[in-house]
Structure 1
Amino acid sequence: MPRNLLANPRFGADPFTLGVASGDPASDGFVLWTRLAPRPLEPLGGMEPRPVAVRWEVAGDARFQTLVAQGEALAHPELAHSVHVEVAGLAPDRPYWYRFRVGREESAVGRTRTLPAPGARVERLRFVAAGCQHYEQGLFTAWRHIAQEPVDFVFHYGDYIYESADHGAGPFKANGRTYDEVRRHVGGEIYTLDDYRRRYALYKSDPDLQAAHAAVPFWMSFDDHEVDNNWASDFDQDGTPPEAFAFRRAMAMQAYYEHMPLRRSAMPQGSHMQMYRGARYGDLLHAFVLDTRQYRDDQLYGDTLAPLGPEAFAQRSIMGAAQERWLYDGLAASDTRWNLIAHQVMVMNLDQRKSPAPGAVAGGTPTYSMDQWPGYMANRRRLLDCIDTHCKGNVVNVTGDAHRHYAGDLLQDEGAPGAEGKVISSEFLATSIASGADGKGDDDAYSRQVRADNPFLKATTDKRGYLLCDIIRKEWTGDLKVVDKVTKPGGKLSTYARFIIENGRPGLNRG
């Protein structure tokens, strides 16, 4: 034990204000997480800067009558008194319950689940994809609904926090609309380790988000706002010298690790984290969780919507060479019924041209997002070629970041010169939890334009919510779940659209 261990700790307030979480499940265990923070918005969460011993327990029942694993972990001040416990030696494919104790205090109880044994026959799997949870722009109502879904895991595609400054008192604008104030960030734009820690503490204090984390294991992934908007590898959007930006990125990644249920293998080394990884759910699903931020080439054309110039087809990568090899080798060797590629930004080559006149829905010059896969067309071609060669009809891409639901098919270079027109895979892009406030629905000018100019796009709507996937051996069903409002409490959940993919036959069908 450390010489400076805080023995017999006592707290003037609940030290488990940020809840509990689990993640990165394996067939014999998972990661358990919590952070001691009795006063979460204060430096070090109101903790004394000394390590603290935290007891953890895992049970086979919700009442903890049968303990199957227990132990003690140290919450170090160097890691904001966070705790990451890697539990192993448990039975596969079953639920477990867990909790933490420190001094006289006890955490809430969380529920998690191990993976099926490798190669075991699995008949059904359900999961949610969600992210983009801007605290100021809406309540986390969708997380409360997710907590009530009977799913096996959540894929969080990123934008867990937003780095922007407090918008100030009064109404705010989102998507061209003005909304009454919902809630506010604390402080200005975040740069320091203390800044990032306080922002995570603010977000993780939300009871709906805590409920979801306590209900199901998460596969975590970050996108851009965990560091800075639209950052790419060594570059931010402001032209900061890379050697200076590396310090901000390192602090952001440390705070991210401190607040997520991640394994020690993901602990940051300077400004790098090992985040791409895979998991097998028996013989039913092989999941590949990608990292499309740390290794990408910088965005083209000033990171704007732009036509596809020759540079977009150059040998550039959104994944980096090592991650590409890992993914393609994994797909080539996969023997599961389905493969999931879970990543951050849109794969569809979506023409988002500006209409030439008010009210028009077509015409104008085709333009594409340089922050998404269309800005990396050579990499996109390699990905779809690999899927077409090795995994015909059993790969589904699940992404996010765009603050609206999209569902569409993936063709090689759809909309580009020489397009083949062959459906190779499909993509569900999950809308935001809160970013964009209540949204406009599906009859705004943008929705009309993208539907008119992209025949492979099957649905889109600008409402908040999440994606629910229900996978059986013969088909994959994707429900685009929406909440009618997030700027006021009590948002109601509904299904905007349902699509089905038949195993071995790529392409979305209306459900």
Structure 2
Amino acid sequence: MTDTSYQQAYQQELRAAAAHLGRRRFLTVTGAAAALAFATNLPGSAQAAEADARKTITADPFTLGVASGDPQPGSVILWTRLAPSPYEPGNGLPNARIEVGWEIAHDSRFTRIARRGTATAHPEFNHTVHVEAANLGSDRVYYYRFRAGKWISPAGRTRTAPAPGARPTDVKLAAVSCQAYHDGYFTAYKHLAAEDLDVVFHLGDYLYEYAVNAAGGARAYTDRTLPAIFNRETVTLEDYRLRYALYKSDPDLRAAHAAHPFVVTWDDHETENNYADDIPENDVPPEEFLIRRAAAYRAYWENQPLRRPQQPSGPDMQLYRRLQFGTLAQFDILDTRQYRSDQAYGDGWDAPGPESDDPSRTLTGATQERWLIDGWRASDALWNVVPQQVVFSRRRSDATDAFKVSMDAWDGYAASRERVLAGAEAAGVDNLVVLTGDVHVSYALDIKRDADNPNSRTAGAEFVATSISSGKDGADKPANWDTFMAANPHMKWYNGRRGYTKITLGRDAARADYRTVSAVTTPGAPVTTAASFVTEAGNPGLKPA
């Protein structure tokens, strides 16, 4: 695409976005989303009284563990949620503010305290706590914990990012996605917690909106019964808050959060399957869906280690953001749900055509797209990494001319992908890495500059992380394995087991180890490295390690 045609396509997308923004403002101001009044249900406006934690909290309030996230050179976010009764609306706490102490230390015994302070668990935020622990050292391991009344939380371990201009020899990370509680145990997280990592990227579908029955679905509990409140689809704010409580009560998920800082982004199921911007999966009015989206976004922020700029305003929340690890890596975390055009041809798999190829279509929205490309232009990092949700590379359903592609992935937004690749090329990005979730399988893919030409230049590498549990046990070779491998020569690996991807970014190469477990419908499965690939710095193209 020439620079002139790129600008024309971009301007067309801007015009479409402006028209859409006008419609969004109308819906937000005049529709039921305004009546929800999230903007007024904030601490300070409700005038909640302050409760004495020693008298109010009579049972362990740290049932959902602790977490940290979004590491920067001198700070990290610390999170917890007070919930002595996590499966009850309101967490078993009064509608009152509760003071929570926190401390972060250089050692796991907390003999050398680096920083300490107090934070307020507001009832308006479901008694969640977000602490920005600042004035810390760069590229250092820390330990943290909370106190409420006489209760002390489990300790968490976290790490800050390297200083600007620093030249770390490597960054060790993991990519995870898709953890349907009702599809099985989070065994992969138990193994992830024991890995030597600097940071974990969660690429979406942290929870699922679907009902979970009394036996926990495929977990088939015989020793306990889940409350009936989970056996319904999440729609209201209370529904989403309770569903996060169910997920975060899982001991393996709690262990992973306590072991490593997480950087999170969502996909669809945190709100509703395959929604696109303000267009729901089902045929309900947009203003009604925006109420649900506002509830989902608020619960997401409340229950994740996210900074204040990510706090939502009604049905809107800026989740895309940038993290830098010295000169080694820049991470541009995307949101491919909130701003996207509706899926072409009614969603699903279909043949590419004029609708999916329309240059005005976008997966990221014009503002986020420009932010991404401008960030690449300013980057001095060796590796430019894009953690995001849906498969970026071309995936043909078969090797014939009548192939179909997924309209929910970048294949359904061909012009949007072309603008991103053209932007990377113009910015001189030599070492592009895309991290992807969504599809419940592992792929290792060469990103081709021309998606329709397997002989075109390789522009980078895409590592698709399989699910933690979604899809149940899976198989090493799914039913379409032979067809997919033949139809997509840039696909170097395809596996259908559960697990995560461990990635090491070094000065000379990036290495991906695909870690899988044999089962999730029964607990305790061991983890193995199913395959490993490397891509050399300055010489993109995946090779077996």
What is the TM-score with the length of structure 1 in the denominator? Answer: 0.94
SS of match in other structure, 2:182: coil
Q: How does 1:179-218 map to 2 (within 5 A)?
A: 186-218=230-262
Q: How far does residue 421 in structure 1 lie from its aligned partner after superposition?
A: 1.9
Contact 1:141-1:489 within 8 A present in 2 as well: yes
Output the CA distance in 2 between the equivalents of 1:168 and 1:76. 31
Q: Structure 1 319/171 Cα, relative in aligned 2: closer, same or farther at 3 Å?
A: closer
CA contact (8 A) 1:392 1:506 kept: no
Q: Distance in 1 between matches of 2:246 and 2:217?
A: 20
Change beyond 3 A, Cα 1:276–1:99: same
Matching residue of 2:466: 431
Query: What is the Cα deviation at residue 166 of structure 1?
Result: 2.6
Q: Aligned residue for 1:176? A: none
Q: How do 1:97-246 residues align onto structure 2 when only pairs under 5 Å count?
A: 97-166=143-212, 186-246=230-290
Q: Is the 8 A contact 1:412 1:420 kept in 2?
A: no
- 1:298 maps to 2:298: no
- Mapped contact 2:441–2:465 kept (Cα < 8 A): yes
Answering whether residue 302 of structure 2 is matched by residue 258 of structure 1, we say yes
**What whole-Å deviation, never above 9, does each CA across 1:391-437 have from its counterpart, x for those lacking one?**
443111011000000111111342x3x77622111100000000011
Give the Cα separation in 1 of the matches to 2:404 and 2:387: 25
Identity of aligned residues (%): 46
Give the AA of the match of 1:340.
V
Change (3 A) 1:106 1:170: closer
Q: How does 1:443-462 map to 2 (within 5 A)?
A: 444-462=478-496
Q: Offset of 1:480 from its aligned partner?
A: 1.0
Give 1:398's aligned residue. 435
Answer yes or no: is the 8 Å Cα contact 1:481–1:493 preserved in 2.
Answer: yes
Cα pair distance change 1:168/1:453, threshold 3 Å: farther
The answer (yes or no) to whether the contact 2:62–2:83 under 8 Å persists in 1 is: yes
Counterpart residue number, 1:356: none
Task: State the shift of 1:32 in Å.
Answer: 0.4
Q: Report the alpha carbon displacement of residue 365 of structure 1 after superposing the two structures with TM.
A: 2.4
**Is residue 2:362 matched to residue 1:327?**
no
Q: Using the alignment, how far apart are the partners of 2:295 and 2:306 within structure 1?
A: 17
Three-state SS of the structure 1 residue aligned to 2:211 is coil
Q: Deviations over 1:25-52 (max 9, x none)?
A: 1111110000000010101111111110
Measured after TM superposition, the shift of residue 149 of structure 1 is 0.6
> Which residue of the other structure, out of 393, 396, 408, is the alignment partner of 1:351?
396
Q: Secondary structure at the match of 1:51?
A: strand
Q: 2:166, 2:215 → 1: CA distance?
A: 55
Q: What 5-or-longer segments of structure 1 have no aligned partner?
A: 173-178, 354-361
Deviation at 1:187, TM superposition (A): 2.1
Structure 1 stretches (4+) deviating beyond 4 angstroms?
Answer: 167-172, 179-185
5, 10, 35: which is aligned to 2:81? Answer: 35
Contact 1:9–1:52, Cα closer than 8 Å, also in 2: no
> What is the RMSD computed on CA atoms of the aligned residues?
1.8
Aligned to 1:359: none
Q: CA deviation at 1:388?
A: 2.5
1:368-379 counterparts in 2 under 5 A?
368-379=405-416
1:318-353 CA-to-partner distances (Å, cap 9, x unmatched) read 000110111001111211111101101100110124
Q: State how far apart, in whole Å, the 1-side matches of 2:206 and 2:220 are.
A: 23
Contact 1:125/1:470, CA 8 A, preserved across alignment: yes
Moved more, 433-442 or 185-194: 185-194
**2:447 pairs with one of 410, 432, 448:** 410
**What one-letter code is carried by the residue in structure 2 that aligns with 1:226?**
E
The alignment of Structure 1 onto Structure 2 pairs a total of residues equal to: 494
For residues 392 and 120 of structure 1, the distance between their equivalents in structure 2, rounded to whole angstroms, comes to 20
Pick from 487, 493, 500 the counterpart of residue 466 of structure 1.
Answer: 500
When residues 171 and 71 of structure 1 are mapped into structure 2, their CA distance, relative to the original with a 3 A threshold, is: closer
Q: Secondary structure of 2:135's partner?
A: coil
Q: Distance in 2 between matches of 1:491 and 1:448?
A: 27
Query: Quick check: 1:506 aligned with 2:543?
Result: no
Contact 1:433–1:466 (CA<8 Å) still a contact in 2?
A: yes
C-alpha contact 1:349 1:413 (8 A) present in aligned 2: no
1:170 CA displacement:
9.5
How far has the Cα of 1:86 moved from its partner?
0.7
Q: Aligned partners of 2:99, 2:216: CA distance in 1, in Å?
A: 43
Cα deviation for residue 180 of structure 1 reads 6.1
Please list the CA deviations of residues 488-507 of structure 1 after superposition, one character each: whole Å capped at 9, or x if unmatched: 12211111111101001111
Counterpart residue type for residue 404 of structure 1 = V
| 1:280 alignment partner AA | Q
**Aligned residue number for residue 29 of structure 2:** none
> What secondary structure does 2:183 align onto?
coil
1:25 — aligned with what? 71
Q: Flag the 1:30–1:169 CA change in 2: closer, same or farther, 3 A.
A: closer
| 1:219-276 deviations in Å (ceiling 9; x for gaps) | 0111100000011100111022111100000000111111100011111100111110
Larger displacement relative to structure 2 (185-194 or 150-159): 185-194
Distance 1:218 1:3 in 2: 31
Post-superposition offset of 1:9: 3.2
Q: What is the letter of the counterpart of residue 517 of structure 2? A: V
Q: Give the secondary structure class of the aligned counterpart of 2:49.
A: coil
**Is the alpha carbon distance of 1:500 and 1:188 closer, same or farther for their aligned partners in structure 2, counting shifts above 3 Å?**
same
How far has the Cα of 1:449 moved from its partner?
1.1
Alpha carbons 1:426, 1:506 under 8 Å: kept: yes
Structure 1 residues 259 and 392: CA distance shift in structure 2, 3 A: closer
- Please tell me the residue identity of whatever aligns with 1:372: A
> 1:274 maps to what in 2?
318
